[in-house]
Amino acid sequence: MAWTGKIIGGVLGSFIGPWGTAIGIGIGHQFDKGASRVQTASMVMQVAFFGCLAKMAKADGKITESEIRTIEQIITRLGYTPQMREAAIEIFRKAKDDPHTAADYLNQLASVIQFNPQIAMTFLSALHAVAQADGLIHPNEREILLQAERAFRLRPGTVDALLGGRNTNQLDAAYKVLEVTSGMSDAEIKTAYRQKCIEFHPDKLASKGLPAEFMKFANDQLSKVNEAYETIKKART
């Protein structure tokens, strides 16, 4: 994972606060050697995450006030300390104009989370929030979401369901959220729903390496699972 060291060194530079201290002792080089892997993986995950957000915000050629507000809301929800907030904003500023592509950041993020679909959905949800911040999904923004779907190895059609595409009604989207089909029995769908609830449980995601700061986004996904199940139950009743 040689590119990991490059992204940490190239994007972060030197910061104040806990992340800056980590960079100061050469954490990028340490990660490439396999040292401090748990802490470093968490940091790289967050660097790649804000890199993805930056590329999404810049996808249509400009960063709007509504997109900036959304980024600020995401940082607030993460509960960062003032130093971490400053570091996150600096990552965003550097990443929006750096030579790396959205795909670079997405592939890095996918690798760090080991393609875990539940963790991937928490990040995809945040990317979607930035994409729709100004009320319109630009074609370039949609393309980044589709790149994320591929990089994270999510089920084809995940983004279409998220966007509520032309041919995707609420019920169709609900079936896709639970990864079930209309031909399945009530019992089968209930089993799938319960499995999804287990997969998005905070303890389960924490064991997979999702930093505690991102648990609120995981809870959003759990809410979507619950809503999808209720939609299907209502339709079948």
**pTM beyond cutoff 0.75:** no
DSSP 8-state code for residue 61: S
What does the alpha-carbon distance between residue 131 and residue 142 come to, in Å, rounded to a whole number? 8
| Widest CA span in the chain | 60
Q: How confident is the model at residue 229 (pLDDT cuts 50, 70, 90)?
A: very high
Dihedral sign for Cα 196, 200, 205, 211, please: positive
Assess whether pLDDT exceeds 60 at residue 64. yes
Q: Which has the closest alpha carbon to 74: 58, 94, 54, 100?
A: 54
Tell the burial category of 157 from Cβ atoms under 10 Å away from its Cβ (0-12, 13-18, 19+): middle
* Long-range pairs, 164-167, Cβ under 8 A, ≥24: none
Mean pLDDT within 16-34: 39
What does the alpha-carbon distance between residue 3 and residue 26 come to, in Å, rounded to a whole number? 15
Helix or strand run (H / E) with residue 123: helix 117-131
Domain boundaries, the chain: 2-236
Q: How confident is the model at residue 26 (pLDDT cuts 50, 70, 90)?
A: very low
Q: What is the pLDDT of residues 82-108, one digit of tens each?
A: 888 888 888 888 888 888 889 988 998
What does the alpha-carbon distance between residue 169 and residue 164 come to, in Å, rounded to a whole number? 7
What does the alpha-carbon distance between residue 103 and residue 7 come to, in Å, rounded to a whole number? 13
* Dihedral angle, C-alpha 160, 143, 98, 34, nearest 10 °: 50
Percent with pLDDT over 70 in the chain: 80
Least confident of 46-55, 56-65, 146-155: 46-55
Q: Angle, nearest 10°, between helix axes 117-131 and 215-236?
A: 90
